[in-house]
Amino acid sequence: MSFSPGGPADTTYTSYGEQAPQQPKSPTNSPLMIRLVYIAMGLILGGVWIASSGESLISHIWHDLAILIVMLVVVRSRLGKRAARPGATPMPEVSYSWIIGAKLGLLVVAAGVQWILQQAGNAHPDIIVAVGLFAVLAVAGPAAHHLFIRAPKHV
């Protein structure tokens, strides 16, 4: 239970009148930084989709999943190094199963759209799908971010 007995508006107090600990603000969890990360991911994965144009749809999915796994390994190692620093703030929990599941679903839909475009005789289905991947990641990524990254548990 918390209340604010005449203190600053952004200060939270416990039910015993003690000031509750504040989570330090970090530039890495700002809405702008989160949006930029998803835009970068969309550019990378859309670029990989275009780079593997002319290959089978399964090949597209494998290439993008490989890139996703590499990105997750890099993020995990950076989070681990940051958490190991003395006096470091608690790091967020990353839900790898949600991230991989969402990305796999997105890639299956992308492959389906590309197949439909190919059957319709579209000359550049790879480019259309790559732009779609970028748009979905740039718009839906930040909106679904709370499913993938959870605030750290305070002990």
Q: What angle do CA 41, 89, 87 make, to 5 degrees?
A: 130
Residue whose C-alpha is closest to residue 130's, from 44, 36, 34: 44
pTM, two decimal places: 0.66
Identify any residues that bridge with 94 across adjacent strands, giving them in sequence order: 149
Q: How many CA within 13 A on the CB side of residue 52? A: 22
Mean pLDDT, the chain cut into blocks of 10 residues (155 residues total): 47 51 54 86 88 83 83 75 66 76 88 92 90 92 79 59
pLDDT reported for residue 82: 64
Nearest C-alpha neighbor of 101 from the set 144, 153, 150: 144
Which pLDDT score is estimated for 153?
Answer: 62
